[in-house]
Structure 1
Amino acid sequence: MSDTIQNSRLKADTVSQPLQFYSKGTTPIQNRFRTAVQSGEFLITAEVCPPKGGDPAHMIQMAQTLKGRVHAVNITDGSRAVLRMCSVAASVILLQHGIEPICQMACRDRNRLALQADLMGAYALGIRNVLALTGDPVKAGDHPEAKSVFDLESIRLLQLINKLNGGFDSNDKPLTDGVTDLFPGAAVDPQLKSWSGLQSRFERKLEAGAEFFQSQLISDFERLEKFMDQIASGTNKPILAGIFLLKSAKNAQFINKYVPGVDIPQTTIDRLAAADDPLQEGMKIAAEQVQLARQLCQGVHMMAVRREDLIPKILDLAGIVPVKP
């Protein structure tokens, strides 16, 4: 055997080792979030964006600060229709660093063939948690000239995941090389203006197989309480309230202007504007919201864009202890 061929094989073996390791499905990190859901723990997840480029160093750095403080880390999939590394690849990178991901998967950019292929590939690479999303409109992002797909939407994607878990593809043909065992979740927006529309979509997502729900940014906790009492009560599926770190009054005003369905109260904006240290004040506000959410639902989904390293400090302020190992 030539040195060139031998070296090539050694490199190939080195690259394949982590993939082979995770495909066995035996590592504890793959099931921690599902176990916490099923045992009724107060759930904590956090959102991290994939890199815009080929270097995942910042994503890894931010995700590593969350170890021991969250049950899983969400990896976004083209959030706001802005180009970033694919969520499957980014999720696998987190797995290789001992961090359990929730891989978001949106319907905007893939047809049902591609979605099924990605879901099977994600499972083979060790990903177990999937958040099924319809996806933000292309016109809102940085490639407005791109063509949307939307072959499916989030409810039909949940149905598709359950078919794969049952051993069949979307055409009811059997999977000849093994079933998947994905743990599907869905998004919910308790602040949706149409109460009947909110209830209808929530119930349809439950029927389609959603095992957990992560909410959009919550700014109206009275509305969240009403949702929990009148719609989510008795479903036995955890709702994680979206908590967003506001970094300044300007940041809050920007969100009010550009994020549909969000209305951050003027009292909160004034509080940030009057603070000597707006970022520290924003952390206090987020901690107060975590405490409110803890009284209403089974978890929180933390969002602190590019400052995920502050999430443990927010949880400390809120009196949230580290998650069980």
Structure 2
Amino acid sequence: MGRSDTGVLRLQQALEVGSFAITAEVMPPRGGDVSRTLAHARLLKGLVHAVNVTDGSRAVMRMSSLAVCKVLLEAGIEPVWQLACRDRNRIGLQAELLGAHALGIRNLLCLTGDPVRAGDQPEVRPVNELESVRLLQQVSAFNQGLDPVNGLLPDGPTDLFAGAAADPQSPSWSGLKSRIMRKQQAGARFLQTQMVMDGDCLQRFVDEITAPLGLPVLAGVFLLKSAKNAAFINRMVPGANIPQAVIDRLAAAADPADEGISIAAEQVARYAAVAQGVHLMAVKAEERIPLILERAGISSRC
């Protein structure tokens, strides 16, 4: 993993040439020891094009995504840095972008960020000076060498490969289409979706919205561990919509954890014919991602 022989990021190269791309997610530690997160990421080396590091997901405190990305980079693992607008003002976000470039981190997922009321410190005051579209615009400006105050950056431009999030199962199709167009115009080079449980919805999303814009899509696949886990996600995760049929399948399984792996593998195999890639999410079970890819029959694509 890391840079290709041509010096281009593997994820960027795969997406730009039309190859099937695979990313997976790891969670930063809740403490000062990064060894467990690094061990999870190392299991994915050679199986995925890049490893995505969450940034305060669900408004829960964890180690800096940027710091973990640097650790992964030093271990020869290409990271995707998530950057949420919730916790930083404009100057803070600008500083982080310039710092990431200096550290050699190039892949970036621009996010608005989950609301603090969803987290474990709901009394925290959010910032939200920018949101994902304006953050993408700032990345594009820095890549062009534009100073946010006046003229050109005196110490040179950045070279960041920025993407954005999307929810193909959004209840407002017109609103979804409008927002994706705004993200593309702001500089998004790829889209990473929330978990997708409806393949037909993903197909329509690609056919009607992203393909005409030339935006590659990484379809989100979430590993479910049990019927109880699926029901919890439906209650607690904004936008989650796991069908009852899937919950019933997990409930009826002799080994729900193994059934969850099979469900995820089936989704990966189906989405491979629709999207340009998949993004695998296996919260606190990252060691199962290689088995998902093996069952989907695509473990040798990277």
Q: Per the shorter chain, which TM-score range?
A: over 0.9
In structure 2, relative to structure 1, the CA distance for the partners of 1:48 and 1:273 (3 Å cut) is: same
* 1:151 maps to which of 126, 129, 132: 129
Check whether the contact 1:215–1:240 (CA below 8 A) recurs between aligned residues.
yes
Q: How does 1:125-144 map to 2 (within 5 A)?
A: 125-144=103-122
Matched residue SS, 1:146:
coil
Amino acid in structure 1 at the alignment position of 2:229: N
Q: Deviations over 1:37-64 (max 9, x none)?
A: 1111101000111111110011001000
2:102 is aligned with 1:124 = yes
* Structure ID, larger Rg: 1
TM-score by length of 2: 0.96
Amino acid in structure 1 at the alignment position of 2:83: M
Q: Report the equivalent of 2:232.
A: 254
Check whether the contact 1:48–1:62 (CA below 8 A) recurs between aligned residues.
yes
Check whether the contact 2:181–2:213 (CA below 8 A) recurs between aligned residues.
no
* 2:31 maps to which of 45, 49, 53: 53
Amino acid in structure 2 at the alignment position of 1:57: S
Q: Which runs of 5+ in 2 are unaligned?
A: none
| TM-superposed deviation, 1:267 | 1.2
Partners of 1:120 and 1:297 in 2: CA distance: 31
Check whether the contact 2:170–2:239 (CA below 8 A) recurs between aligned residues.
yes
Q: Deviations over 1:16-75 (max 9, x none)?
A: xxxxxx9xx999787111111111110100011111111001100100000011000111
TM-score by length of 1: 0.90
* 1:290 maps to which of 268, 288, 296: 268
* 1:233 maps to which of 211, 219, 232: 211
Matched residue SS, 2:109:
strand
Matched residue SS, 1:222:
helix
Matched residue SS, 1:296:
coil
* 1:302 maps to which of 256, 280, 291: 280
Q: Report the equivalent of 1:276.
A: 254
What is the number of residues matched between the two proteins? Answer: 301
Q: Report the equivalent of 1:6.
A: none
Q: How does 1:7-46 map to 2 (within 5 A)?
A: 31-46=9-24
2:261 is aligned with 1:311 = no
Q: Report the equivalent of 2:91.
A: 113
Partners of 1:282 and 1:77 in 2: CA distance: 25
Q: Deviations over 1:225-271 (max 9, x none)?
A: 11112112222221011000000000000011111222211111111
* 1:169 maps to which of 134, 147, 152: 147
Check whether the contact 2:225–2:260 (CA below 8 A) recurs between aligned residues.
yes
